[in-house]
Structure 1
């Protein structure tokens, strides 16, 4: 059985790359929200907030490099 991904267009959205109006579609793939422009193929993805928060919480700064 083939699992179809439900895609929908975002009304009034402008593509950040080609500036075309009403060409951005939104869909979820593996629980990740993705945007794609059907005109220029620009794409962007956003991880779940829980995933992003967990990634940042476990990071720490070891030192700051200041070239002179």
Structure 2
């Protein structure tokens, strides 16, 4: 007996997760004839359009707030000092 509340989820052989780059962890399923995919390794999930492209959750615009990026812990601040050997020309 087919349970209508739970869609049938099938693994896609050779598919690579766009988030964690793991192979063979993507499974596809359909809800109301709309294809979805999810990664069982990292939890990434998205919806696909009729051509198989990922549908963004929000279209990026000029006013879309991007999360602030913090500098990596291996980076450092470079500070420049004036050269004392160079004298100003009057």
Give TM class, smaller chain: 0.5 to 0.7
Q: Please list every run of 5 or more consecutive structure 1 residues that lacks an aligned counterpart in the other structure.
A: 50-68
Is the aligned partner of 1:43 residue 2:45?
yes
Cα distance, 1:44 vs structure 2: 1.4
Is the aligned partner of 1:13 residue 2:15?
yes
The answer to which structure has the higher helix fraction is 1
Q: 2:31 aligns with which of 29, 32, 49?
A: 29
Greater Rg over alpha carbons, structure: 2
TM-score (norm 2): 0.48
Structure number with the bigger relative contact order (C-alpha 8 A, sep ≥ 6) is 1
The answer to which structure has the higher strand fraction is 1
Q: Structure 2 CA distance, aligned partners of 1:29 and 1:18?
A: 24
Q: Please list every run of 5 or more consecutive structure 2 residues that lacks an aligned counterpart in the other structure.
A: 52-90
Cα distance, 1:2 vs structure 2: 5.6
Q: Structure 2 CA distance, aligned partners of 1:17 and 1:7?
A: 19
The count of corresponding residues between Structure 1 and Structure 2 is: 49
Q: Is the 8 A contact 1:31 1:48 kept in 2?
A: no
